[in-house]
Amino acid sequence: MLLILYRRYLDEQDRDEYARRTSTLYSTGTLQRLAMNTNHEVRRAAVLALGLLGDYDSNHTLGCALLDDDRTVRMLADDGIRKVWNRAGNEAERKELKAVIRLNESRMYKQALARAAWLIERAPWFAEAWHQRAIAHAALGRLVESIRDCHQTLEINPYHFVAAASMGQAYVGLGNPVSALECFRRALRLNPGLEGVRAQVERLAKMVEDGGG
């Protein structure tokens, strides 16, 4: 049945309707199991559905799917896992996170820093709150603080390849290509599809090999 729904989605390209139809038939636990099915099309359908319906409990499944043999599964997992990172916590905490994200996107970094700190104090296990504060720190030139928050993000959520890449970029800013290279390689191990990060790895590896580190 999941394949029927998925093929209908491919024809209609209506994600909301696919989510609605899938949610009436499958729990997220079942979708997590189907995301490891031997049939690549079933995995695609399940990973797409988890990105639309899953909460933070789907993080591990989607993190594993980033390494799937099937390119479409990997792409769907990349899109889906970024969404579930924002779905931890209760409704009030998720609302506060959205506010912090909007402030960072609007380049209101000092305000983002303050609200992220408040959210971290209230929900210290919310990995994305730490990462959003890391973004604000980095934008304000506070690279050491940004690295610390990225470390904490990865302690809570070991699949957070964006935090690993952010930490690498901060080390670049500090003039530490060896540590930057280590962080970028970690990001690639988590998500091999990060082509921009791969380019950074190649550049920094050459720099370190040539004695620039």
Residues of the chain with CATH 1.25.40.10: 89-209
Distance separating alpha carbons of residues 130 and 6, to the nearest angstrom: 35
The ranges of the chain annotated as CATH 1.25.10.10 are: 2-86
CATH number for the domain formed by residue range(s) 89-209 = 1.25.40.10
Percentage of the chain beyond pLDDT 90 is 96
What per-residue confidence (pLDDT) applies to 210? 76
**92-133, pLDDT tens digit by residue?**
999 999 999 999 999 999 999 999 999 999 999 999 999 999
pLDDT at 209 over 90: no
Q: With pLDDT > 70 as the criterion, what percentage of the chain qualifies?
A: 99
Query: What mean pLDDT, rounded, does the chain reach?
Result: 96
Residue-level pLDDT at 213? 52
Token pair listed for 91: 């409704």
What average pLDDT does the segment 137-158 reach? 98
pLDDT in tens, 42-93: 999 999 999 999 999 999 999 999 999 999 999 999 999 999 999 998 999 9
pTM here? Answer: 0.93
Q: Tell me if 26 sits within 8 A of 14, measured CB to CB.
A: no
Structure tokens at 187: 């990001």
pLDDT over 70 (residue 212): no
d(CA 71, CA 50): 17
* pLDDT band at 179; cut points 50, 70, 90: very high
Helix (H, G, I), strand (E, B) or coil at 183: helix
pLDDT for position 101: 98
The three-state DSSP-derived secondary structure of 57-108 is HHHHHHHHHCCCCCHHHHHHHHHHHHHHHHHCCCHHHHHHHHHHHHHHHCCC
The mean pLDDT value for 195-203 works out to 93
- pLDDT number for residue 173: 96
Mean pLDDT of 150-177: 97
Q: CATH number of the domain at 2-86, out of 1.10.260.40, 1.10.3720.10, 1.10.10.10, 1.25.10.10?
A: 1.25.10.10
What is the mean pLDDT of the segment spanning 171-191? 96
